[in-house]
Amino acid sequence: AFQHDALEVGVGRRFLRYAADSNLKRVVLECGGKNPAVVLDDAEDLDLVAEQVVNGAFWNMGENCSATSRLIVDAKIKDELLQRIGAYMREWKTGDPLDPENRIGALVSKTHFEKVKSFLGDVKTEKLSVAHGGATHKSAYIEPTVVDGVTPASRLFQEEIFGPILSVTKFNSLGEAIALANDTNYGLTASVYTGSLRKAIKLSREIRAGVVTVNCFGEGDATTPFGGYKESGFGGRDKSVFAHDNYCELKTVWIDVSDRSVDETVR
Protein backbone atom coordinates (compact mmCIF):
# COMPACT_ATOMS: atom_id res chain seq x y z
CA ALA A 1 0.00 0.00 0.00
CA PHE A 2 1.19 3.50 -0.81
CA GLN A 3 1.13 6.51 1.44
CA HIS A 4 -0.64 8.80 -1.03
CA ASP A 5 -0.80 11.72 1.40
CA ALA A 6 2.19 13.61 0.09
CA LEU A 7 2.87 16.93 1.77
CA GLU A 8 0.46 18.97 -0.35
CA VAL A 9 -2.39 16.46 -0.03
CA GLY A 10 -1.83 16.19 3.71
CA VAL A 11 -1.92 19.97 4.11
CA GLY A 12 -5.07 20.08 1.98
CA ARG A 13 -6.79 17.61 4.31
CA ARG A 14 -5.83 19.76 7.30
CA PHE A 15 -7.39 22.84 5.71
CA LEU A 16 -10.62 20.92 5.11
CA ARG A 17 -10.70 19.85 8.75
CA TYR A 18 -9.98 23.41 9.87
CA ALA A 19 -12.79 24.73 7.69
CA ALA A 20 -15.18 22.12 9.09
CA ASP A 21 -14.23 22.93 12.67
CA SER A 22 -14.53 26.70 12.23
CA ASN A 23 -17.12 28.50 10.11
CA LEU A 24 -17.35 26.17 7.07
CA LYS A 25 -15.39 28.60 4.92
CA ARG A 26 -14.99 27.54 1.32
CA VAL A 27 -11.65 25.97 0.45
CA VAL A 28 -10.02 25.78 -2.98
CA LEU A 29 -7.29 23.15 -3.04
CA GLU A 30 -4.38 22.56 -5.43
CA CYS A 31 -2.52 19.56 -4.07
CA GLY A 32 0.11 18.65 -6.63
CA GLY A 33 0.34 16.03 -9.34
CA LYS A 34 2.00 12.97 -10.83
CA ASN A 35 1.89 14.20 -14.37
CA PRO A 36 2.35 11.92 -17.39
CA ALA A 37 3.88 12.62 -20.77
CA VAL A 38 2.34 10.10 -23.17
CA VAL A 39 4.40 9.56 -26.33
CA LEU A 40 2.89 7.58 -29.21
CA ASP A 41 4.96 5.91 -31.91
CA ASP A 42 3.62 8.34 -34.51
CA ALA A 43 5.14 11.39 -32.79
CA GLU A 44 6.67 13.34 -35.66
CA ASP A 45 9.79 14.86 -34.05
CA LEU A 46 11.45 12.86 -31.27
CA ASP A 47 14.06 15.57 -30.76
CA LEU A 48 11.28 18.02 -29.94
CA VAL A 49 9.64 15.43 -27.66
CA ALA A 50 12.93 14.84 -25.84
CA GLU A 51 13.53 18.56 -25.38
CA GLN A 52 10.02 19.15 -24.03
CA VAL A 53 10.11 16.13 -21.69
CA VAL A 54 13.50 17.13 -20.26
CA ASN A 55 12.33 20.69 -19.66
CA GLY A 56 9.06 19.50 -18.11
CA ALA A 57 10.79 17.01 -15.82
CA PHE A 58 13.78 19.02 -14.60
CA TRP A 59 12.87 22.71 -14.71
CA ASN A 60 13.31 24.21 -11.22
CA MET A 61 14.86 20.90 -10.09
CA GLY A 62 11.49 19.21 -10.68
CA GLU A 63 10.08 21.19 -7.74
CA ASN A 64 6.97 22.07 -9.70
CA CYS A 65 3.46 20.73 -9.14
CA SER A 66 2.93 20.36 -12.89
CA ALA A 67 6.34 18.80 -13.60
CA THR A 68 6.51 15.88 -16.00
CA SER A 69 7.07 13.06 -13.54
CA ARG A 70 6.14 10.01 -15.64
CA LEU A 71 7.17 9.25 -19.23
CA ILE A 72 4.70 6.77 -20.71
CA VAL A 73 6.09 5.79 -24.09
CA ASP A 74 5.29 3.31 -26.85
CA ALA A 75 7.60 0.30 -26.52
CA LYS A 76 8.61 0.57 -30.18
CA ILE A 77 10.28 3.97 -29.74
CA LYS A 78 11.27 3.90 -26.06
CA ASP A 79 14.98 3.19 -26.51
CA GLU A 80 15.39 5.78 -29.25
CA LEU A 81 13.60 8.44 -27.23
CA LEU A 82 15.69 7.71 -24.13
CA GLN A 83 18.85 8.17 -26.19
CA ARG A 84 17.66 11.59 -27.36
CA ILE A 85 16.60 12.54 -23.85
CA GLY A 86 20.11 11.69 -22.66
CA ALA A 87 21.58 13.97 -25.32
CA TYR A 88 19.47 16.93 -24.16
CA MET A 89 20.25 16.19 -20.52
CA ARG A 90 23.91 16.98 -21.16
CA GLU A 91 22.85 20.63 -21.20
CA TRP A 92 21.37 20.32 -17.70
CA LYS A 93 24.43 20.52 -15.47
CA THR A 94 24.10 20.32 -11.70
CA GLY A 95 25.75 22.67 -9.23
CA ASP A 96 25.82 26.16 -7.74
CA PRO A 97 22.76 27.95 -9.17
CA LEU A 98 24.69 31.24 -9.23
CA ASP A 99 26.95 29.72 -11.89
CA PRO A 100 25.21 30.38 -15.24
CA GLU A 101 26.52 27.07 -16.62
CA ASN A 102 24.33 25.13 -14.19
CA ARG A 103 20.63 24.51 -14.74
CA ILE A 104 20.02 22.21 -11.74
CA GLY A 105 20.61 23.79 -8.34
CA ALA A 106 20.15 22.62 -4.76
CA LEU A 107 16.85 21.26 -3.55
CA VAL A 108 14.87 23.56 -1.30
CA SER A 109 15.96 22.01 2.03
CA LYS A 110 17.95 19.18 3.58
CA THR A 111 14.72 17.48 4.61
CA HIS A 112 13.39 17.61 1.07
CA PHE A 113 16.72 16.35 -0.28
CA GLU A 114 16.44 13.27 1.95
CA LYS A 115 12.87 12.69 0.82
CA VAL A 116 13.78 12.84 -2.88
CA LYS A 117 16.90 10.75 -2.29
CA SER A 118 14.73 8.02 -0.76
CA PHE A 119 13.24 7.41 -4.22
CA LEU A 120 16.73 6.64 -5.50
CA GLY A 121 16.85 4.02 -2.76
CA ASP A 122 13.71 2.49 -4.24
CA VAL A 123 15.49 2.25 -7.59
CA LYS A 124 18.07 -0.05 -6.01
CA THR A 125 15.54 -2.00 -3.96
CA GLU A 126 13.32 -2.64 -6.97
CA LYS A 127 16.35 -3.32 -9.20
CA LEU A 128 15.27 -0.74 -11.75
CA SER A 129 17.51 0.66 -14.47
CA VAL A 130 18.97 4.17 -14.22
CA ALA A 131 19.12 5.32 -17.84
CA HIS A 132 20.67 8.70 -17.03
CA GLY A 133 21.93 10.49 -13.91
CA GLY A 134 21.29 9.10 -10.45
CA ALA A 135 24.08 10.74 -8.44
CA THR A 136 23.78 13.06 -5.43
CA HIS A 137 26.21 15.72 -4.19
CA LYS A 138 26.85 17.51 -0.89
CA SER A 139 23.52 16.45 0.63
CA ALA A 140 21.86 19.17 -1.44
CA TYR A 141 22.08 18.31 -5.13
CA ILE A 142 20.47 15.47 -7.09
CA GLU A 143 21.42 15.04 -10.71
CA PRO A 144 18.57 14.91 -13.20
CA THR A 145 17.71 11.22 -13.26
CA VAL A 146 15.77 8.98 -15.64
CA VAL A 147 14.62 5.61 -14.27
CA ASP A 148 13.54 2.94 -16.76
CA GLY A 149 11.29 -0.07 -16.21
CA VAL A 150 8.99 1.56 -13.66
CA THR A 151 5.64 -0.20 -13.16
CA PRO A 152 2.41 1.03 -11.51
CA ALA A 153 3.37 -1.06 -8.45
CA SER A 154 6.30 1.27 -7.76
CA ARG A 155 6.28 4.29 -5.49
CA LEU A 156 8.12 6.13 -8.27
CA PHE A 157 5.02 5.73 -10.44
CA GLN A 158 2.44 6.66 -7.81
CA GLU A 159 3.82 9.33 -5.49
CA GLU A 160 4.72 12.94 -6.18
CA ILE A 161 8.51 13.17 -5.91
CA PHE A 162 8.86 16.94 -6.38
CA GLY A 163 12.42 16.49 -7.52
CA PRO A 164 14.48 15.83 -10.68
CA ILE A 165 13.51 12.17 -11.18
CA LEU A 166 11.62 10.99 -14.26
CA SER A 167 10.15 7.48 -14.32
CA VAL A 168 9.74 5.62 -17.62
CA THR A 169 6.99 3.09 -18.37
CA LYS A 170 6.35 1.49 -21.75
CA PHE A 171 3.03 0.53 -23.34
CA ASN A 172 1.88 -1.48 -26.34
CA SER A 173 -1.58 -0.08 -27.11
CA LEU A 174 -3.46 3.20 -26.93
CA GLY A 175 -5.84 1.82 -24.32
CA GLU A 176 -2.92 0.73 -22.13
CA ALA A 177 -1.36 4.20 -22.45
CA ILE A 178 -4.57 5.87 -21.24
CA ALA A 179 -4.95 3.41 -18.37
CA LEU A 180 -1.37 4.02 -17.24
CA ALA A 181 -1.77 7.79 -17.46
CA ASN A 182 -4.85 7.61 -15.21
CA ASP A 183 -3.44 5.08 -12.74
CA THR A 184 -2.63 7.52 -9.92
CA ASN A 185 -4.60 9.43 -7.30
CA TYR A 186 -3.59 12.67 -9.01
CA GLY A 187 -4.89 14.48 -12.09
CA LEU A 188 -3.29 17.90 -12.46
CA THR A 189 -1.60 18.10 -15.87
CA ALA A 190 -0.58 15.82 -18.73
CA SER A 191 1.12 16.11 -22.10
CA VAL A 192 0.50 14.10 -25.24
CA TYR A 193 2.85 13.65 -28.21
CA THR A 194 1.39 12.31 -31.45
CA GLY A 195 1.12 13.14 -35.13
CA SER A 196 -2.55 12.16 -35.20
CA LEU A 197 -5.17 14.79 -34.43
CA ARG A 198 -7.74 12.07 -33.78
CA LYS A 199 -5.51 10.36 -31.20
CA ALA A 200 -4.58 13.71 -29.64
CA ILE A 201 -8.25 14.52 -29.06
CA LYS A 202 -9.00 11.03 -27.73
CA LEU A 203 -6.12 11.17 -25.25
CA SER A 204 -6.97 14.73 -24.19
CA ARG A 205 -10.54 13.68 -23.47
CA GLU A 206 -9.79 10.44 -21.66
CA ILE A 207 -6.79 11.41 -19.53
CA ARG A 208 -8.16 12.65 -16.22
CA ALA A 209 -6.18 15.86 -15.89
CA GLY A 210 -7.21 19.49 -15.59
CA VAL A 211 -4.65 20.71 -18.14
CA VAL A 212 -3.54 18.70 -21.20
CA THR A 213 -0.97 19.98 -23.68
CA VAL A 214 -0.40 18.41 -27.10
CA ASN A 215 3.09 18.16 -28.59
CA CYS A 216 4.50 20.49 -25.95
CA PHE A 217 4.92 20.95 -22.20
CA GLY A 218 3.17 23.86 -20.55
CA GLU A 219 0.70 25.13 -17.99
CA GLY A 220 -1.30 27.56 -20.14
CA ASP A 221 -1.24 31.24 -19.22
CA ALA A 222 -3.23 33.78 -17.24
CA THR A 223 -6.20 33.45 -19.60
CA THR A 224 -6.69 29.68 -19.13
CA PRO A 225 -7.97 27.88 -16.02
CA PHE A 226 -5.45 25.89 -13.98
CA GLY A 227 -6.33 23.09 -11.59
CA GLY A 228 -6.82 19.35 -11.43
CA TYR A 229 -8.97 16.29 -10.86
CA LYS A 230 -9.01 13.71 -8.07
CA GLU A 231 -6.54 14.40 -5.24
CA SER A 232 -4.82 17.14 -7.22
CA GLY A 233 -7.47 19.52 -5.91
CA PHE A 234 -10.98 20.82 -6.19
CA GLY A 235 -13.24 23.71 -5.31
CA GLY A 236 -12.43 25.92 -8.27
CA ARG A 237 -9.75 26.91 -10.74
CA ASP A 238 -6.87 29.34 -10.60
CA LYS A 239 -6.27 31.90 -13.39
CA SER A 240 -8.69 32.93 -16.17
CA VAL A 241 -12.18 34.36 -15.68
CA PHE A 242 -13.16 31.12 -13.93
CA ALA A 243 -10.93 32.05 -10.99
CA HIS A 244 -13.31 34.94 -10.18
CA ASP A 245 -15.99 32.40 -9.25
CA ASN A 246 -13.92 31.50 -6.19
CA TYR A 247 -14.44 35.02 -4.81
CA CYS A 248 -18.08 35.59 -5.73
CA GLU A 249 -21.40 34.70 -4.14
CA LEU A 250 -24.31 34.09 -6.49
CA LYS A 251 -27.63 35.69 -5.59
CA THR A 252 -31.08 35.37 -7.14
CA VAL A 253 -33.48 38.35 -6.94
CA TRP A 254 -37.13 38.09 -8.04
CA ILE A 255 -39.07 41.35 -8.52
CA ASP A 256 -42.76 41.63 -9.36
CA VAL A 257 -42.95 44.56 -11.82
CA SER A 258 -46.54 44.05 -12.90
CA ASP A 259 -48.84 47.13 -12.72
CA ARG A 260 -51.54 46.02 -10.29
CA SER A 261 -53.60 49.24 -10.76
CA VAL A 262 -53.92 48.46 -14.47
CA ASP A 263 -54.97 44.95 -13.64
CA GLU A 264 -57.75 46.27 -11.38
CA THR A 265 -59.02 48.65 -14.11
CA VAL A 266 -59.17 45.85 -16.66
CA ARG A 267 -61.27 43.80 -14.31
Active site residues: 30, 65
Cβ-count burial of 25 within 10 angstroms (0-12 exposed, 13-18 middle, 19+ buried)? Answer: exposed
Q: How far apart are CA 150 and CA 157, in angstroms?
A: 7
In DSSP terms, 37 is beta-bridged to 71, 191
Please list the alpha-helical segments (H only) found in 29-173.
46-58, 78-89, 110-125, 155-158
**C-alpha distances in angstroms, 235 versus 50, 146, 156, 246?**
34, 34, 28, 8
Residue 249, C-beta contacts closer than 8 angstroms, at least 6 positions apart: none
Long-range CB contacts for residues 92-95, cutoff 8 Å, separation at least 24: 92/54, 92/58, 92/144, 94/137, 94/141, 94/142, 94/143, 94/144, 95/137, 95/141
Q: How far apart are CA 183 and CA 44, in angstroms?
A: 26
Q: How far apart are CA 145 and CA 131, in angstroms?
A: 8
Q: How far apart are CA 91 and CA 86, in angstroms?
A: 9
